[in-house]
């Protein structure tokens, strides 16, 4: 059965603990996309990870491993969530999801995280196991541009959806992504 799994990014701690703000899995375009897919009769899960402002790869992997990943699974990661998917799939070559979509992927090029969340080698054969797409905007932060270049160098076959006006893709909807999922 086709399913889509959404992986959020890493908010600032102050933002995470603000009771006026939604949880990371309910921010930006996640709720909109989940609703659109559910209306099409598809299963869509937006996972919630512990302490996303100070992510632990091991803890995120424990949450992710509760999902059943198969050749009908679509994985979508935003920012740190995209970097997480790259690492997880690079370290688990037995997984062959239908499609992996990285939206403004972040690999912590300035090494801001206290844990070694991104201490891994990108699997250059990942595009041979799945359809691999990336959404990037030239007006996003420099760290996202550096992360994208690192991914593109490691996996030249990645399909790129380049924009100049989407920033960090924090809108309430994302029709270009929904179109790709048809």
Q: What residue spans define the domains of the chain?
A: 23-137+153-159
DSSP 27: S
pLDDT of residue 67: 96
- The distance of Cα 68 from the centroid of its chain, to the nearest Å, equals 17
**pLDDT value for 115:** 77
- Tens of pLDDT, residue by residue over 106-152, are 999 988 886 789 999 999 999 999 999 999 999 999 999 999 999 99
Cβ(102)–Cβ(82) below 8 Å: yes
pLDDT of residue 2: 87
Whether the pTM exceeds 0.95: the reply is yes
* Extended beta strands in the chain, E state: 3-7, 43-47, 73-78, 99-103, 131-137, 159-163
CATH 3.40.50.1820 fits 23-137+153-159, yes or no: yes
């Amino acid at each position: 059965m086709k399913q889509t799994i959404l992986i959020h990014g890493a908010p600032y701690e102050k933002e995470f603990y603000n009771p006026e703000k939604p949880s990371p899995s309910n921010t930006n375009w996640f709720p909109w996309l989940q609703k659109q897919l559910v209306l099409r009769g598809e299963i869509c899960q937006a996972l919630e990870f512990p302490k996303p402002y100070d992510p632990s790869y091991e803890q995120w992997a424990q949450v992710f491993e509760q999902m059943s990943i198969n050749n009908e699974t679509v994985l979508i990661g935003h920012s740190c969530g995209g970097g997480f998917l790259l690492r997880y799939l690079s370290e688990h070559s037995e997984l062959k999801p239908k499609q992996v979509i990285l939206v403004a992927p972040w690999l912590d090029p300035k090494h801001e995280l206290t844990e070694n969340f991104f201490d891994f080698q990108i699997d250059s054969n990942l595009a041979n196991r799945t359809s691999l797409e990336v959404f990037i905007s030239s007006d996003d932060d420099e760290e996202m541009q550096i992360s994208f270049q690192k991914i593109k160098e490691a996996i030249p076959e990645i399909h790129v959806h380049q924009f100049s006006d989407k920033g960090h893709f924090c809108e309430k909807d994302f029709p270009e992504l929904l179109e790709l999922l048809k």
